[in-house]
Structure 1
Amino acid sequence: MTAQQTTTPARSDDRLARLSWRERIGYGLGDAGFNFYWAIIGSYLVFFYTDVFGIGAAAAATMVTITKIIDAITDPIIGGIADRTNTRWGKFRPYLIWWALPMMGAGILTMSTPDLDETGKLIWAYATYSLLMLCYTLLNMPYNSLSAVLTANTQERNTLNSTRFFFAYFSSIIVGAATPELAEYFGDGDRYSAKGWQMTMVVYAVIASCLFVVTFFSTRERIQPAATQEKNNPLQDLKDLFTCRPWLVLFVLAMVFMVTMTLRGSSAAYYFRYFVERPDLLGNYIGLQMAGLMVGAMLAATVTQYIDKRKLMMLLMCVVAVLSIVFTFVPKPDRHGVVDIIHNDAVQLDAQTLLGSEPAEGDRYQWLRHDKIFWIIKERVPLAETGQVLTLENAKGQVISVVRTRADGATSDSAELPKEILWMFALNILISIALGFKPPITWAMYADVADYNEWKNGRRATGMTFAATTFSQKLGSAGGSALMLSVLAVMGYQAGQMQAGASLDSIVYMQTLVPGIFALLTALSLIFYNLSDDKLEQLQQELQTRYSS
Structure 2
Amino acid sequence: MTSRNSDRLAKLSSRERIGYGLGDAGFNFYWAIIGSYLVFFYTDVFGIGAAAAATMITVTKIIDAITDPIMGGIADRTNTRWGKFRPYLLWGALPMMGAGILTMSTPDLDETGKLIWAYATYSLLMLCYTVLNMPYNSLSAVLTANTQERNKLNSTRFFFAYFSSIFVGAATPELAEYFGDGDRYSARGWQLTMVVYSIIASCLFVVTFLTTRERIQPSITQEKTNPLNDLKDLFTCRPWLVLFVLALVFMITMTLRGSSAAYYFRYFVERPDLLGNYIGLQMAGLMVGAMFASTVTKYIDKRKLMMSLLCVVAILSIAFTFVPKPQSNGVLDVASNEIQLDAGTLLGQSHAEGDTYQWLRHDKIFWIIKVRVPLGETGPNLNLADAKGQVISVIRTGADGSVRDSAELPKEIIWMFALNILISIALGFKPPITWAMYADVADYNEWKNGRRATGMTFAATTFSQKIGSAIGSALMLSVLAVMGYQAGQMQAGASLDSIIYMQTLVPGLFALLTALSLVFYNLSDAKVESIQQDLEARHT
Judge conservation of contact 1:42–1:262 (CA < 8 Å) in 2.
Answer: yes
Paired residue type of 1:281: L
What does 1:256-335 align with in structure 2 at a 5 Å threshold?
256-335=249-328
Please tell me whether residue 205 in structure 1 is matched to residue 189 in structure 2. Answer: no
SS at match of 2:358: strand
Q: Judge conservation of contact 1:9–1:226 (CA < 8 Å) in 2.
A: no
Deviation of 1:10 (Å): 6.2
Matched, 1:530 2:522: yes
In structure 2, distance between residues paired with 1:349 and 1:358: 13
Contact kept? 1:450, 1:460, Cα under 8 Å? yes
8 Å contact kept, 2:292–2:429: yes
For 2:79 and 2:352, locate their aligned partners in 1 and report how far apart those are by CA, in whole Å.
Answer: 79
Pairing partner for 2:490 from 490, 495, 498 = 498
Q: Cα offset for 1:343?
A: 2.2
Matched, 1:82 2:75: yes
RMSD: 0.7
Q: Distance in 1 between matches of 2:431 and 2:188?
A: 33
What is the identity, as a one-letter code, of the residue corresponding to 1:513?
Answer: L
2:43 to 33, 42, 50: 50
Count of matched residue pairs: 540
Q: Deviations over 1:38-60 (max 9, x none)?
A: 00000000000000000000000
| Deviation (angstroms), 1:454 | 0.3
Q: Distance in 2 between matches of 1:343 and 1:144?
A: 45
How far does residue 12 in structure 1 lie from its aligned partner after superposition? 3.0
> 1:30 touches 1:211 (CA, 8 Å); kept in 2?
yes
The equivalences for 1:455-474 within 5 A come to 455-474=447-466
Q: What's the offset of the Cα at 1:230?
A: 1.2
Does structure 1 retain, via aligned residues, the 8 Å contact 2:87–2:209? yes
The separation in 2 between residues aligned to 1:352 and 1:184, in whole angstroms, is 28
Q: Give the letter aligned to residue 125 of structure 1.
A: A
Contact 1:96 1:216 in 2 (8 A): yes
Provide the rounded CA distance (Å) in 1 between the counterparts of 2:154 and 2:531: 21
Q: 2:135 aligns with which of 142, 145, 155?
A: 142
Partner Cα distance (2:335, 2:141) in 1: 48
Match for residue 351 of structure 1 among 343, 364, 370 = 343
8 Å Cα contact 2:259/2:473 also seen in 1? yes
Give secondary structure in 1 for the equivalent of 2:341: strand
1:28 corresponds to 2:36: no
In the alignment, what sits opposite 1:130? 123
Between the aligned partners of 2:416 and 2:219, the Cα distance in structure 1 is 53
Deviations 1:396-442 (A, max 9, x none): 11000000001121100000000000000000000000000000000
Determine if contact 2:6/2:539 at 8 Å carries over to the other structure: no
Question: 1:450: which partner in 2?
Answer: 442
- 1:103 partnered with 2:101: no
- Supply the AA of the counterpart residue of 1:303: V
User: In structure 2, what is the Cα distance between the partners aligned to 1:115 and 1:212?
Assistant: 33
Report the secondary structure of 2:6's partner residue.
Answer: coil
- Distance in structure 1 (CA, Å) of the matches to 2:507 and 2:311: 12
- Provide the rounded CA distance (Å) in 2 between the counterparts of 1:292 and 1:26: 22
- In the TM superposition, residue 359 of structure 1 has moved relative to its aligned partner by 1.7
Which consecutive aligned stretches of 4+ in structure 1 deviate over 4 angstroms post-superposition? none
TM superposition shift of 1:11: 3.6
- What is aligned with 1:222? 215
Contact 1:181 1:191 survives alignment (8 Å): yes
Q: How far has the Cα of 1:514 moved from its partner?
A: 0.2
Q: How far is 1:491 from its partner?
A: 0.1
CA deviation vs aligned residue, 1:462-485 (integer Å, no higher than 9, x gap)? 000000000000000000000000
AA aligned opposite 2:198 = A
d(CA) in 1 for partners of 2:401 and 2:298?
57
Q: What residue identity is the alignment partner of 1:248?
A: L
Give the partner amino acid of 1:430: L
Unaligned runs of 5+ in 2: none
Distance 2:105 2:325 in 1: 35
Residue pair 1:364, 1:404 contacting (<8 A) in 2 also: yes
Pair 1:427-2:419 in alignment = yes
- Kept in 1, the 8 Å contact 2:253–2:507? The answer is yes
* 1:287 Cα deviation from its structure 2 partner: 0.1
* CA deviation string 1:326-384 (max 9, x = no partner): 0000000000000001221x210100110011221110000000000111010000000
Equivalent position SS for 2:304: helix
Contact kept? 1:288, 1:429, Cα under 8 Å: yes
Paired position in structure 2 for 1:373: 365
Counterparts of 1:73 and 1:9 in 2: how far apart (Å)? Answer: 34
C-alpha contact (below 8 Å) 2:94/2:202 kept by paired residues? yes
Letter in 2 for 1:30: G
Does the CA-based 8 Å contact 1:327-1:513 persist in structure 2? yes
**Aligned AA (1:205):** S
Partner of 1:477: 469
Give the aligned partner of residue 396 of structure 1. 388
Which of 1, 11, 14 aligns to 2:7? It is 14
Q: Are 1:10 and 1:227, in contact at CA under 8 Å, matched by a contact in 2? A: no
3-state SS in 2 of match to 1:277: coil
Measure the CA separation in 2 of the matches of 1:269 and 1:407: 39
Counterpart check, 1:246 vs 2:239: yes
Q: Quote how far apart the aligned CAs of 1:9 are.
A: 6.0
Q: Given the alignment of the two structures, is residue 183 of structure 1 paired with residue 176 of structure 2, yes or no?
A: yes
Q: Is the 8 A contact 1:10 1:226 kept in 2?
A: no
SS of the residue 2:362 aligns to: strand
Please give the secondary structure, in 1, of the residue aligned with 2:395.
strand
Q: Which amino acid aligns with 1:375?
A: W
Which residue pairs with 1:342 in the alignment? 335
Q: Distance in 2 between matches of 1:123 and 1:338?
A: 39
Quick one: distance in 1 between partners of 2:97 and 2:366?
Answer: 26
Given residue 116 of structure 1, which amino acid in structure 2 is its aligned partner? Answer: L
1:75–1:9 Cα change, 3 Å: farther
Native 8 Å contact 1:170 1:291 kept in 2: yes
- Secondary structure in 2 aligned to 1:12? helix
TM-score (structure 1 length as normaliser): 0.98
Q: Is the 8 A contact 1:9 1:227 kept in 2?
A: no
Q: Distance in 2 between matches of 1:46 and 1:388?
A: 38
Distance 1:415 1:433 in 2: 27
Distance 2:3 2:354 in 1: 87
Output the amino acid matched with 2:47.
Answer: G
Shift of 1:391: 0.6
Uncovered stretches (5+) of structure 1, i.e. residues with no partner: 1-7
Q: Distance in 2 between matches of 1:10 and 1:487?
A: 56
* TM-score normalised by structure 2 residue count: 1.00
Q: Deviations over 1:125-152 (max 9, x none)?
A: 0000000000000000000000000000
Instruction: Tell me which moved more, 450-459 or 11-20.
Output: 11-20
Residue type at the aligned position of 2:378: T
- 1:487 equivalent to 2:487? Answer no
Q: Does the 8 Å CA contact 2:5/2:539 hold for their aligned counterparts? A: no
Partner in structure 2 of residue 511 of structure 1: 503
What is the alpha-carbon distance in structure 1 between the residues aligned to residue 78 and residue 392 of structure 2? 57
- Which residue type is aligned with residue 412 of structure 2? E
2:533 — aligned with what?
A: 541
CA distance in 2, matches of 1:465, 1:12: 19
